[in-house]
Structure 1
Amino acid sequence: MTGTGPVEESTYDTPTRPTEVITSGPPPRRPRPLLRAALAVGTAALALTTALSHTSHTPPDPQPQPQPQPRPLPPRPTGVTSLTYAGTTGTPDLRSHSFTFRIRATLTQGPPTTLEQLSQPYDELTMTLRPPAPVVLHSGMTQSITLRITARRCTGLPIGVELPFLNVTLRNTRAIENPSYILGAAYAADLTKSLRAVCPQPARRTNQLS
């Protein structure tokens, strides 16, 4: 006997292809505020990088050099040179009508100073130096100088003069000066005593001495 049984439905679905959705038009754009912020950050970073690069490669401005100070002028010779009386040497020579004194010349500081001339102001007297002028003085140095004074005549002598002085010419790199030095009471007393010794008689003071 023939027949046909019931027909069973299949439980397997036929595979289907995914549906493609096709759209038209430009791609979506980034929101404008975010784009501006990104551009601002990028610009700032570029500016900072450029500034740092410029700073690292640019040498610093040269510092101004200090101006040299002018060299101070040396002191004037009269301000640093002193003359002091150091007493008599020996006894007056009556035959030559002469006597000798000693003085000290001292330079306290500054460049070398030259004692170019040393004289007394009285025409009746002559004076020679030992060592002879010019005498160069150095800083901190004291030079002993012997004065030999001779009476040319016994008139107009500075007997009893309270403040006899000596005329001096001093020179250094700053100036040439011509001061007068008063050597004090001891010099005045010894000068009067020595003049009286070489001109003992008042009558002789009116005569020319040879």
Structure 2
Amino acid sequence: MTGIGPVEPGEDTLVRDALPPRPRGRLALRYERHRRTVIASGAVLVVLAGGGYLYASRSQPRPAPPPPYPSQAVDLVYVAPATGSPGATAGTYSFTVLLSVRSGPPVTVTRLTQPYDGLSVTSSPAAPFQTKSHSARKIIVTLRVTECEKAPRNPGLPFLDVTLRNARAIEAHSFILGARYAQDLSRALEVACSNHSR
């Protein structure tokens, strides 16, 4: 059986180690010093460049997200007819809504209207008024019949138009107050306009 043993150095492989060192002159020594300085400077530059890259690419703090639009932060909910509200007269219908600001900066209601020509609207508190974040405000809305001919007979999905303002934007938004509000409004308009022919 034949095998291969350890590799042994061949001829003239150790000759270089046996050569005497080359004589160095003044020029060779200056070159050697200069070469070492250049290598050291290059190493320092590499370290500085790498540090600069790491500093520049470190994770920057992210800017805070903008506040939500006012219509995205507000809920307006119909509560009930307001009994014995101040200023209630024949031909008026007062009801309570709850305006809640879920998040973001305070929201100001700058205007509150409704879409029907035969009705006018007032509110208590009167616009403009502000509601703080994470809080709710009770608003009494009073509708007054100005012309029965133009007032809705059976409003299906009546709504309130509310102009909202916060630190981000001003928006006009329509809030549908639901079936209970539609029924209560229909009854109130029927009573208010019962003496008028349509």
TM-score, length basis structure 2? 0.69
Contact 2:106–2:133 under 8 Å retained in 1: yes
Contact 2:69–2:166 under 8 Å retained in 1: yes
Match of 1:105 among 93, 99, 124: 99
Unmatched 5+ stretches in structure 2 = 1-16
Distance 1:145 1:153, change over 3 A: same
Give the length in aligned residue pairs: 164
Aligned to 1:133: 127
Aligned to 1:73: 66
User: Could you tell me how far 1:104 is from its partner in structure 2?
Assistant: 0.7
User: Could you tell me how far 1:34 is from its partner in structure 2?
Assistant: 7.1
Q: Take 1:157 and 1:188, find their aligned partners in 2: how far apart are those partners?
A: 13
State which structure, 1 or 2, has the greater radius of gyration over its C-alpha atoms: 1
Match of 2:165 among 171, 175, 182: 171
Amino acid at match of 1:195: L
Contact 2:88–2:94 under 8 Å retained in 1: no
Contact 2:79–2:95 under 8 Å retained in 1: yes
Identity %: 33
TM-score, length basis structure 1? 0.66
Amino acid at match of 1:64: Y
Q: Take 2:132 and 2:118, find their aligned partners in 1: how far apart are those partners?
A: 34
Aligned to 1:64: 55
Amino acid at match of 2:21: R
Aligned to 1:85: 78
Unmatched 5+ stretches in structure 1 = 1-31
Q: Take 1:95 and 1:75, find their aligned partners in 2: how far apart are those partners?
A: 40
Aligned to 1:28: none
Amino acid at match of 1:172: N
Q: Take 1:90 and 1:199, find their aligned partners in 2: how far apart are those partners?
A: 19
User: Could you tell me how far 1:136 is from its partner in structure 2?
Assistant: 1.2
RMSD: 3.2
The reply on whether 1:195 has 2:189 as its aligned counterpart is yes
Contact 2:94–2:140 under 8 Å retained in 1: yes
Structure 1 residues 142-195: Cα deviation after superposition (integer angstroms, max 9, x where no partner): 111001111112212212111111111111222211111110000000001111
